[in-house]
Amino acid sequence: MSLHRDRALAWLEEDPDPITAEELRTLLAACDRGDAAAQKDLDERFEGSLEFGTAGLRGILGAGPQRMNRVLVRKVASGLAAYLLAKVPDAKIRGVLIGHDARRNSRVFSEDSARVLGGAGIKVYLAHRPWPTPTTAWAVVEKRACAGVMVTASHNPPAYNGYKVYWGNGAQIIPPHDVGIAASIATIGRSDQIAMPALDELRRRGLVIDLDESLHDDYLAQVVALRASPAIDGRGLVIAYTPLHGVGALSVEGALRLAGFPQVHTEPSQREPDAEFPTVAFPNPEEKGAMDRVLALAAEQRADLVLANDPDADRLSVALPGVGPGAAYAQLTGDQVGVLLADYLLQVGPADKRMVATTIVSSQLLGFLAKQAGADYRETLTGFKWIGNAAIDYEREHHGRFVMGYEEALGYSVGPLVRDKDGVSAAVLFAELTAWNRARGKSVRDHLDDIYRKVGLFVTEQVSLTRPGSEGLTEIRAAMARFRASPPGELGGSAIEQVVDLARGEGGLPPSDVLVFKLVGGRRVIMRPSGTEPKLKSYYEVRIEVGANEPIDAARTRGLVELAKLRDAHQTLLG
């Protein structure tokens, strides 16, 4: 207890935030009274520090190095500044672009970062208002900055915030930069000794430049320019949309209008940014109940298409009307949206040297689709930073065209515009895809069934085992170690043909804490701890050949039975 108490007291001396300082004083007082729960809380806050994961730095707001707060953000910004000055010769001139969402402390963290970077002599482009994460990723390249920062916790609950770092190419940092920045952060001493001139002073010196709405307008214009079939008439398409209390409304509504889709109905109770996300239990369109209000709006407006962003608008969820009178709307999976976009763009675009990409935990369907279309295919580690960098590498090394990439967690990137997932451009392209299908006398469901008949029906499911706190992390690590040491020989009656351990550098990808079990018949099970949440994620997939005259629903029923066998067998072993 004494070690953590001393660290907590030292933290209090430099904490500039009265809210987190008072929170820590209250916690220390409870510890002094012998409160076991308070002691456990203190231990978790001060045991180690938050680290960069698949989406940068993310954690619960609060005092301590294992929480998101102003002390940590100032040190991270200072470490980033030192790394840029050491590695980028013209870093001061090119500068860093900083954007933020509308969460608690997002503006405060972005302004603190601007003051730290400006204090180090690095020019800063500072967003004038909350905006989507993809706008920041795009603007880094547009402004020719050497790096970028986006303050966001994406789809996490209200108690979270985060800090994403982009390199000058507009993609999230990967080795060696992530490791180098982390090492630089570790050398930073007290946060209250970092030079932090006032913003107005930095503005007078030309070191902080406030951005304005014209930059966002340029982004929307370039999003609309991504349209693959601009002649398709979208005026008759009725769309229901929600930003889930996030920052997507201005961007998505504006982009759809510019792209020729004027009939957009936004759920009014969720249109404006609200850091408390009052109408949803969890602000992630993947979560049960999160889209209830927009689905009700869709039924009221008889919408042809339902679109939803997460709070920072880098993800997109899609729902379609059910088949038959009075049928409910049904959400598509991320895999389904991804392969629909890929198939559409491969069909209507030029048959040049081109590439599509996804992650190892997404469906294998995209690989089959790419082969059938004669396109190159890349499979990356989880996290869109890997897809963004794979696209850049492909364009540089193979002089080909990046068509699109996606990950099953509702993230999509179309073309070279944004080197991160972009729920704004994905919304425009999916609306166009819907209108394109309508113009040829088909529904989006018909299009999806056509894909299944071409390359097979892939049935997938993801199951997350949530284990919060340090004890939960230990449990997750133990489960991964157990499966590594004694992998099963079969699951659900299917023999395991190969075990690929990415932590050992197998599979041709950078080392990562991922286990892949390949079973007979193209079946697959993947295990990995989440990089941003206290979860052990397991991914299950079964491929079913669709008979010549077999209804898709019949093939799906067969696939679901096989998938359940696989899932239940694995979950039983997890315990």
* 310-337 pLDDT per residue, tens: 999 999 999 999 987 778 999 999 999 9
3-class DSSP string for 115-132: HHHHHCCCCEEECCCCCC
554 Cβ neighbours under 8 A, 6+ residues apart: none
Mind listing the pLDDT tens digit for each residue in 129-158? 999 999 999 999 999 999 999 999 999 999
Tell me the whole-structure pTM to 2 decimals: 0.93
Q: How many angstroms separate the Cα of 394 from the Cα of each of 169, 348, 356, 357, 417?
A: 14, 21, 10, 10, 15
Query: Which residue(s) pair with 164 in the sheet?
Result: 150
Of the candidates 314, 92, 281, the one whose C-alpha atom is nearest the C-alpha of residue 205 is: 92
- What residue ranges in 423-493 does DSSP mark as E strands? 457-466, 490-491
Check pLDDT > 60 for residue 1.
Answer: no
Out of 78, 154, 184, 362, which one is annotated catalytic? 154
Q: Could you give the CA distance from residue 465 to residue 461 in angstroms, rounded to a whole number? A: 13
Query: Which ranges of 302-383 does DSSP label H, i.e. alpha helix?
Result: 334-348, 365-373
Q: What is the mean pLDDT of residues 214-238?
A: 97
3-class DSSP string for 523-556: CEEEEEECCCCCEEEEEEEEEECCCCCCCHHHHH
Q: Could you give the CA distance from residue 314 to residue 153 in angstroms, rounded to a whole number? A: 11
- Map out the domains of the chain as residue ranges: 1-47, 51-211, 219-311, 334-454, 456-574
Q: What is the mean pLDDT of residues 1-10?
A: 82
Q: What is the mean pLDDT of residues 362-366?
A: 95
Q: Could you give the CA distance from residue 116 to residue 74 in angstroms, rounded to a whole number? A: 7
Q: Could you give the CA distance from residue 239 to residue 308 in angstroms, rounded to a whole number? A: 10
In terms of CATH, what superfamily is 51-211?
A: Alpha-D-Glucose-1,6-Bisphosphate, subunit A, domain 3 (3.40.120.10)
pLDDT of residue 532: 66
Identify whether 154 is a catalytic site residue. yes
Q: What is the mean pLDDT of residues 271-283?
A: 96
pLDDT of residue 2: 54
Query: Which residue(s) pair with 465 in the sheet?
Result: 536
Mind listing the pLDDT tens digit for each residue in 532-557? 678 999 999 999 999 988 999 999 99
Between CA 252 and CA 254, with CA 253 as vertex, the angle to 5 degrees is 90
Query: Which residue(s) pair with 150 in the sheet?
Result: 99, 164
Mind listing the pLDDT tens digit for each residue in 60-69? 999 999 999 9
Q: Could you give the CA distance from residue 93 to residue 144 in angstroms, rounded to a whole number? A: 10
Give residue for tokens 């989880």: 382
pLDDT of residue 55: 61
Mind listing the pLDDT tens digit for each residue in 20-62? 999 999 999 999 999 999 999 999 999 988 886 656 789 999 9
Confidence category of residue 472, pLDDT binned at 50, 70, 90: confident
Q: At what angle do helices 423-439 and 444-455 cross, to 10 degrees?
A: 90
Query: Which ranges of 318-412 does DSSP label H, i.e. alpha helix?
Result: 334-348, 365-373, 384-398
For residues 432 and 145, the answer to whether their CB atoms sit within 8 Å is no
Tokens representing residue 256 in the block: 């759809």
pLDDT of residue 54: 58
> Which overall architecture, per CATH, does domain 219-311 show?
3-Layer(aba) Sandwich (3.40)
Q: How many angstroms separate the Cα of 480 from the Cα of each of 52, 98, 363, 490?
A: 20, 37, 22, 17
> Which overall architecture, per CATH, does domain 334-454 show?
3-Layer(aba) Sandwich (3.40)
Confidence category of residue 113, pLDDT binned at 50, 70, 90: very high
pLDDT of residue 248: 98
Tell me the backbone φ, ψ of residue 355, rounded to 5 degrees. Answer: -140, 145
pLDDT of residue 53: 61
pLDDT of residue 383: 87
Q: Which fold has domain 456-574?
A: TATA-Binding Protein (3.30.310)
- What residue ranges in 102-247 does DSSP mark as E strands? 124-126, 147-151, 160-167, 208-210, 239-242
Within this chain, domains 51-211 and 334-454 share the same CATH topology: yes
Least confident of 8-22, 268-282, 438-452, 463-477: 463-477
Tokens representing residue 285 in the block: 């369109």
Q: Could you give the CA distance from residue 224 to residue 238 in angstroms, rounded to a whole number? A: 18
Confidence category of residue 507, pLDDT binned at 50, 70, 90: confident
Q: What is the mean pLDDT of residues 169-193?
A: 94
